[in-house]
Structures are given as structure tokens and as C-alpha cells.
Structure 1
């Protein structure tokens, strides 16, 4: 997803998918400098279904979970 999509999922508290796993919601949007310091990486912090653990994932690998 794009940075704008990630921010929208974060603000709307929508469930998201990463690597085939559904997470409750995005709990943070993280910006990091690239190792060569010429750009930035955008990542999402994803809360698991039990609400006890988070996963950090690259924005482009996260998808919004569609309602069933």
C-alpha cells in the first residue's frame, strides 16, 4: 500500500493483512532513513489479533483487509 493508504488505515483503525496474516490494525506509521541516508523507508506497526504483539512491516507489503 502507499504511504497515504497506510495513514488512512491507521486513522480508520482498519484490519490489515501482511504475509497472509490478518492484524487488528496499524498502531503506528514509522519513517526511517535508508542506510545510505539518501531517502526514507515507510513501515507500519501492526497489532496482532490477540492485542499482545506487534509486527513491523514495509508499507508496500501491507494490504487493507476487505470486510467479509
Structure 2
């Protein structure tokens, strides 16, 4: 499980996917979310701009990212 340390109060879902290296661009993140392939805290994410905060867990293509403060 990879962790992403927050610099601010939150990070947007698309930015987190890019920061973790799971997607190469915002466009790729957009399609991953639109296709229903990304889960946040066990639920399918519908917004690429969803704000992730401390404790959130993102799952995509068998990889997991944990957001930490």
C-alpha cells in the first residue's frame, strides 16, 4: 500500500492517482473514474475532483493508496 502525505487539508482524487504513479495524466485519471474503475473507501468514485482527506483509501487496478496527514 502506497501512502500520500497531505501538504494541505486535502488532495483531489485525480491528483492522488497521478502522484502515486497509477495514471500518467489528468485525462487518464478522468477516464479511470468515468469508467467506474476507482474506489474511494470501498465505494466507486464518480468525481475526479473528489477531495481526499486524512484516512481515505483509494483502490485502482489492484493498487491501494492511503492518504495521511
Larger RCO: Structure 1 or Structure 2 (Cα < 8 Å, ≥ 6 residues apart)? 2
Which protein is bigger by CA-based radius of gyration?
A: 1
Using structure 1 for the length normalisation, give the TM-score: 0.32
Structure number with the higher strand fraction is 1
TM score, norm. by length of structure 2? 0.32
Q: Which structure dedicates a bigger proportion of its chain to helix?
A: 2
